[in-house]
Amino acid sequence: MGTTFLTTIKTLVRQRDVLLWAIAFPLVLSTLIYAMLGNLDEAYAIDPVDLVVVDDATYQATTGLPEMITALSVEGVQADGTALLDITYVDSDEAARQTLADGDYVGFITVDASGEPAFHVDARYASSTTGTRASIVKIVLDQYWQTASLVGAMGQADPELFSDPALLEKLATEVSYTQRTSVTANPVSDSLAYMYSSLAFSVVMMMTFALAAIEDIQANTSALGARRSLAGQSKIRTLAPAIAASWTVGFGVQLIGYTYVKFAFGTSFGGKDPAVLLTLAVGVLAMTFTGAFVGSLPIASGAKSGITATLSCFLSLFAGLYGTFAQDLAESAAENAPLFALANPARQVTQAFHALYYYDGYQQFGQAILALLALAGVFFVLSTLMLRRKRYASL
Amino acid sequence: MGLVEIHDLTKRYKELVALDHFNLSIEQGEIFGLLGPNGSGKTTAINCMLQLLTYDRGTIELFGEPMSPTRYDLKRRIGIVPQNMAVFETLSVHENIDYFCSLYVSNANRRKALVAEAIDFVDLGDYRKFRPRKLSGGLARRLNIACGIAHKPELIFFDEPTVAVDPQSRNAILEGIQRLNQEGSTVLYTSHYMEEVEQICTRIMILDHGQQLALGTNSELKGLVDIGEKVEIELATPDPSVVAAIQALQHVAGVSLEGNALKLTCLRGARGVGEILDLLHSSGVTYGRVYSEPPTLNDVFLAITGKELRD
């Protein structure tokens, strides 16, 4: 059995077209995803806005503004906070204009004699497409002006209100009534979801190896299969090492893909790497037995290759691996035909990855892994029943 | 009791009867030839014997014991050289032989020696790292043989091993089979090449449409037809008038004129080509070369079935 195992590995690894395709597929797919979506996380991140402030006597005399600007800037932000502004201070309007001309700033802030701040936007950041960074400054100043006006109005209406320390504290700190919190223990990465999808996709492709290995065993598909069937060994002694070798090569290919995604792109799986590897291992096992089942069908060899390709696409479609439309379709199928969804190994692989992505606990993940193991068992029994046949009516 | 005993074996492919109450007995130490045209049932007989094909009726015993699909102990004593190349295209010569040997011999050290011996036997030492597609047709056939005989089987089935092989390789293969037989292996050799069967087989069965037509040694089979010799005479000028005169000779079974070639068949007996040449001489017919050959198995097949073996 050991020789059959090693021989099957050699034959699979030396089928260059199959192997290269199997290896290249996840690498190319993940590279494309990285190229297209790698900066997705950065797109949502905030870089401090480069801003010039005219730090003259009127600015310093404006109540609260210098403190707020400093608190939001790189110099004043807390260690665990996000700096919104990167301030360059100048002492006059002319100096501010000159600084804008010499460097890349969204604009400058001045305070007039009445104490009203003004934001002068650089022309380069005034358009609708480039104005996001300028709008951050505008929001900051609006927030300040809104609060300052509120305080001024309150002072005019009832100066006694300011004798309440609690109210003063509230006015000084509360700038928003909503708060952003994370529901997961690990930070969610938008590109990671796509990397998981690429891994799931490549796991589905691993049917190919088992199909190739099984076809070389069957007497009614090739002269080689017939020759092996005539030998002095039971079918299981040929079948078991061939299946084991198919899984080994498939999992090896997945390890290459995982290593590439993790180290070439610096993808973090949020400390769930062992679970990711377990998903790859069990997923490849389920797809290996699915491929073995297709390989055991009593039909022409070429038809089996076609069925494998079609089945890969079909299962992936109903696993939601083809984008938003497919995800909607997969969810609809799962609601209306839960048994079909349960019996779809591609969906279970996807579900396992989704569970790792969305949930801190492992309950949903465990359910998907158990479903994959059950599917592997079912396809093992089916393919063994088909392949246990020792005699044929014709060859 | 023979090494192979088949009684009343019948195999049908739907309406087609591939083996029709087929009987076969092969003694230990024989090179038994199964001769028949393509589709006569030779390969079907082998696949039934090895339990790869189901059959409708009959009994098969190998080594004195009933054969069944799970008699792996019996299968391990058998070597198979199939008609089609049945090797891994992605493995080298050495790896292929080692793999097929491993199906019968699990001990790695013993296998190492057997594989080396098999490579020497088929003279593929210079090609041990070659993959099959790099080998010529003849060398590839030798690899196919090495894969079947490496485990030193007691009984070897050679199913048309020389198809599409050049004459030099064919001779090497036939000599190899004779050597295996001398070393103790019993051989079942199937072919539709009568010359090969005549050359190496101790007994021959002629098979057609799944039925045994004749069985015996080479000379016994030729004794079944009343042919002494076949003669071909090159005439200087074709003369149809001599055909009737020659046909009238008592020991001539048949005569025809094909271009300048006068072809005739003589019945067995003391008289032969000399009387015919005398007739040509007296008739003033000038002739050149004269060819004479004894009857072949093809003549036997022709006499029994009315058609050529290669039809």
Instruction: Tell me what pLDDT residue A180 has.
Output: 59
Given a cut of 80, is residue B31 above it in pLDDT?
Answer: yes
DSSP A242-269: HHHHHHHHHHHHHHHHHHIIIIIS----
Average model confidence (pLDDT) across chain B: 89
Q: How far is A392 from chain B (nearest CA, A)?
A: 5
Buried b (16+ CB within 10 A) or exposed e, A284-293: bbbbbbbbbb
Whether residue A391 and residue B87 make contact (CB cut-off 8 A), yes or no, is no
Least confident of A125-134, B73-82, B281-290: A125-134
Tell me whether A7 touches chain B (CB under 8 Å): yes
Q: How far is A240 from chain B (nearest CA, A)?
A: 14
Instruction: Tell me what pLDDT residue B311 has.
Output: 47
Given a cut of 70, is residue B223 above it in pLDDT?
Answer: yes
Of A44 and B292, the one with more pLDDT: B292
Residue at a domain's end among A173, A195, A224: A173
Whether residue A226 and residue B73 make contact (CB cut-off 8 A), yes or no, is no
What angle is formed at CA A39 by the lines to CA A35 and CA A44, rounded to 5 degrees? Answer: 155
Whether residue B90 and residue A230 make contact (CB cut-off 8 A), yes or no, is no
Chain B residues lying within 8 Å of A232, measured CB to CB: 72-73, 75-78, 103-104
Choose among B72, B78, B95: nearest Cβ to A234.
Answer: B72
Whether residue A14 and residue B76 make contact (CB cut-off 8 A), yes or no, is no
Please tell me the distance from the alpha carbon of residue A211 to that of residue A296, in angstroms, as a whole number.
Answer: 8
Look at residue B304 and give its three-state secondary structure: helix
Residue A216, judged by CB atoms within 10 A of its CB (0-12, 13-18, 19+), counts as buried
Whether residue A233 and residue B87 make contact (CB cut-off 8 A), yes or no, is no
Is the sign of the CA dihedral A296, A302, A305, A306 positive or negative? negative
What residue of B is the nearest CA neighbor of A213?
Answer: B88
pLDDT, tens only, B33-45: 999 888 889 999 9
Same domain assignment for residues A7 and A117: no
Whether residue A390 and residue B51 make contact (CB cut-off 8 A), yes or no, is yes
Same domain assignment for residues A95 and A136: yes
Whether residue B95 and residue A10 make contact (CB cut-off 8 A), yes or no, is yes
Same domain assignment for residues A24 and A56: no
- Collect all residues with Cβ–Cβ distance below 8 Å to B22 and sequence separation of at least 6: B6, B8, B9, B10, B11, B41, B45, B58, B210, B211, B212
Same domain assignment for residues A260 and A325: yes
- Collect all residues with Cβ–Cβ distance below 8 Å to B175 and sequence separation of at least 6: none
Place of tokens 């024989």: B30
pLDDT, tens only, B162-197: 887 888 888 888 998 999 999 999 999 999 888 889
Residue at a domain's end among A173, A204, A234: A173
Q: Which domain holds residue A16?
A: 2-40+187-387
Whether residue B69 and residue A390 make contact (CB cut-off 8 A), yes or no, is yes
Please tell me the distance from the alpha carbon of residue B266 to that of residue B251, in angstroms, as a whole number.
Answer: 6
Same domain assignment for residues A8 and A93: no
Whether residue B52 and residue A226 make contact (CB cut-off 8 A), yes or no, is yes
Whether residue A229 and residue B76 make contact (CB cut-off 8 A), yes or no, is no
Please tell me the distance from the alpha carbon of residue B237 to that of residue B241, in angstroms, as a whole number.
Answer: 12
Q: How many residue pairs bridge chain A and chain B with CB atoms within 8 Å of each other?
A: 81
Chain A residues lying within 8 Å of B103, measured CB to CB: 228, 231-233
For the whole prediction, is pTM greater than 0.95? no
Tell me whether B95 touches chain A (CB under 8 Å): yes
- Residue A100: which CATH number? 3.40.190
Please tell me the distance from the alpha carbon of residue A258 to that of residue A260, in angstroms, as a whole number.
Answer: 5
pLDDT, tens only, B49-60: 999 999 999 999
Look at residue B135 and give its three-state secondary structure: coil
Chain B residues lying within 8 Å of A231, measured CB to CB: 75, 100, 103-104
Same domain assignment for residues A35 and A53: no
Place of tokens 């300048």: B260
Ordered by where they begin, the domains of chain B are 4-217 (3.40.50.300), 229-294 (3.30.70.100)
Q: How far is B69 from chain A (nearest CA, A)?
A: 7
Same domain assignment for residues A91 and A114: yes
Same domain assignment for residues A376 and A288: yes
Joined tokens for residue B229: 């010799």
Tell me whether B33 touches chain A (CB under 8 Å): no
Whether residue A219 and residue B52 make contact (CB cut-off 8 A), yes or no, is yes
Indicate the number of domains in chain A: 2
Residue A99, in any domain of the structure: yes
Residue A108, in any domain of the structure: yes
Is B206 in contact with B214 (CB distance < 8 Å)?
yes
Tell me whether A388 touches chain B (CB under 8 Å): no
What residue of A is the nearest CA neighbor of B75?
Answer: A232
**How many CB atoms are closer than 10 A to CB B165?**
20
Instruction: Tell me what pLDDT residue A306 has.
Output: 86
Task: Say how many Å lie between the first and final Cα of chain B, rounded.
Answer: 36
Please tell me the distance from the alpha carbon of residue B145 to that of residue B174, in angstroms, as a whole number.
Answer: 11
Tell me whether B247 touches chain A (CB under 8 Å): no
Same domain assignment for residues A207 and A298: yes
Which of A366, A368, A362 lies closest to A343 in space, CA to CA? A368
Same domain assignment for residues A349 and A225: yes
Buried b (16+ CB within 10 A) or exposed e, B132-154: beebeebbbbbbbbbbbbbbbbb
Same domain assignment for residues A62 and A10: no
Whether residue A230 and residue B53 make contact (CB cut-off 8 A), yes or no, is no
Is B298 in contact with B225 (CB distance < 8 Å)?
no
- HEC profile for A45-113? CCCCEEEEEECCHHHHHCCCHHHHHHHHECCCCCCCCCCCEEEEEECCHHHHHHHHHHCCCCEEEEECC
Same domain assignment for residues A126 and A207: no
Residue at a domain's end among A173, A205, A232: A173
The arithmetic mean of pLDDT across residues B74-78, rounded, is 93
Please list the rounded mean pLDDT of every run of 10 residues in chain A (395 residues): 87 79 75 68 70 89 83 73 83 89 89 86 73 80 82 79 73 58 62 83 87 83 86 83 92 90 83 92 94 85 83 85 78 84 90 87 91 94 81 75
Please tell me the distance from the alpha carbon of residue B197 to that of residue B22, in angstroms, as a whole number.
Answer: 20
Is A346 in contact with A315 (CB distance < 8 Å)?
yes
pLDDT, tens only, B131-166: 999 998 889 999 999 999 999 999 999 999 888 788
